[in-house]
């Protein structure tokens, strides 16, 4: 079992982007993403040192073997599916930790007392980062999802994640904790 700082060191070299169909690293999600992207294997992400959050979480899934962790997928629950994000959460000594590598603004490990606090914080950051002022916490769905098949297209990946367990954020609980 790798230590958390060893996992961080491995993930630190992975840049945000994706491999096109010719295995050429593309450093940003562009107009060709939907037709050219396929979910990478963890070995590909390590080899090419590039991956969107979907790829990076699959590598983290391998690196976190032996830990008590779960993976989550966030998206909007309206006709606008907008930006998505995946992330890994692990539990240690009755605390919950959001391990983040691909979302550079929040790269690192974030500690929370409850899962609801963690989900509320990530959802709030997601809304603020993408400047979606017309949407709120209740417009966000978070799914706990299992390991997907590799080499699937974006639409297949989205369908896979949305078949996972739907998590509802309790906004009231979070407000009460801060009083």
Instruction: Report percent pLDDT > 90 for the chain.
Output: 77
Mean pLDDT (the chain) is 90
Q: Per-residue pLDDT tens for 46-99? A: 999 999 999 999 999 999 999 999 999 999 876 556 789 999 999 999 999 999
Cα separation, 86 vs 93, whole angstroms: 24
Going by pLDDT thresholds of 50, 70 and 90, the confidence category of residue 175 is: very low
pLDDT given for residue 135 in this prediction: 76
Q: What does the alpha-carbon distance between residue 133 and residue 97 come to, in Å, rounded to a whole number? A: 27
**Cα-based angle 33, 39, 43 (whole degrees, multiple of 5):** 130
What's the DSSP call for residue 105? Answer: G
Per the structure, the complete domain to which residue 91 belongs is given by 4-178
Over range 25-46, report the average pLDDT: 94
Q: Is residue 4's pLDDT more than 70?
A: yes
The alpha-carbon radius of gyration of the chain (Å, integer) is 16
Identify the burial level of 53 via C-beta atoms within 10 angstroms of its C-beta, where 0-12 means exposed, 13-18 middle and 19 or more buried: buried
Across 23-31, average pLDDT:
90
Q: State how many domains the chain has.
A: 1
């Amino acid at each position: 079992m790798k230590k958390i700082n060893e996992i961080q060191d491995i993930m630190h070299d992975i840049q945000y982007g994706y491999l096109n169909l010719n295995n050429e690293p593309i450093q940003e999600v562009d107009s060709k993403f939907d037709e050219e992207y396929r979910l990478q294997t963890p070995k590909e992400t390590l080899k090419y040192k590039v991956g969107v959050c979907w790829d990076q979480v699959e590598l983290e899934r391998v690196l976190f073997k032996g830990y008590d962790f779960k993976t989550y997928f966030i998206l909007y629950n309206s006709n606008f599916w907008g930006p998505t994000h995946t992330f890994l959460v692990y539990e240690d000594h009755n605390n919950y930790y959001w391990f983040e590598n691909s979302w550079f603004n929040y790269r690192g490990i974030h500690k929370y007392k409850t899962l609801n606090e963690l989900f509320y914080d990530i959802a709030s950051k997601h809304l603020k980062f993408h400047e979606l002022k017309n949407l709120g916490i209740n417009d966000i769905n978070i799914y706990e999802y299992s390991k997907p098949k590799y080499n699937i297209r974006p639409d297949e990946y989205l369908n896979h994640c949305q078949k996972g367990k739907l998590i509802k954020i309790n906004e009231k609980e979070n407000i009460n904790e801060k009083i």
